[in-house]
Amino acid sequence: MRILVIHGPNLNMLGKRNKKHYGACSLDDINGMLSQTAKKNLVSLLVFQSNHEGELINFLQKNAQKASGILINPGALTHYSYSLRDALEDTNLPTVEVHLSDISKREPFREIDVLDGIVIEKIVGLKEKSYIVGLENLINYIRRKRSL
């Protein structure tokens, strides 16, 4: 099983951003935790971060055929990127969306989530643990589907 892990804009700055919303972990810290979780579950990860919407879409289009699922924190693209939504939907892969903060309890514009309806689950507000819970839930979902 191979999972695509996608980090959207500004997530390369984790550890330096508002710790109240995003926690103290860096992106490298989070990727390390994800790697440990994947290893424990005998899963491989292909990790990618970009501040550019088109690069995220190119990554999906290039790698989706070789993947079993997607774990994504789209960052601010969550609220307006219909092209990223379309690219995710076109993969036909189970996708879990994660956010470090609870986007529903922040600024009003963050209440809009254009990925609603295409993700199998959304994990929010657990800081770095959002990623771990999201990855574990995605792995379990894929394994359940395969055993049917």
The whole-angstrom separation of Cα 146 and Cα 48 is 26
Count CA within 13 A, CB hemisphere, residue 25: 16
Task: Spot the catalytic one: 7, 22, 82, 141.
Answer: 22
Q: Which of 21, 52, 80, 99 is catalytic?
A: 99
99 is catalytic: yes
Per the annotation, the verdict on 79 as an active-site residue is no
Is the dihedral angle over the CA atoms 36, 38, 43, 49 positive or is it negative?
A: negative
Angle at 73 (CA atoms; ends 71, 78), nearest 5 degrees: 120
Strand order in the sheet with 121-124: 44-49, 2-7, 69-73, 95-99, 121-124
Which residues fall within 8 angstroms of residue 62, CB to CB, at 6 or more apart? none
Q: Which residues are catalytic?
A: 22, 99
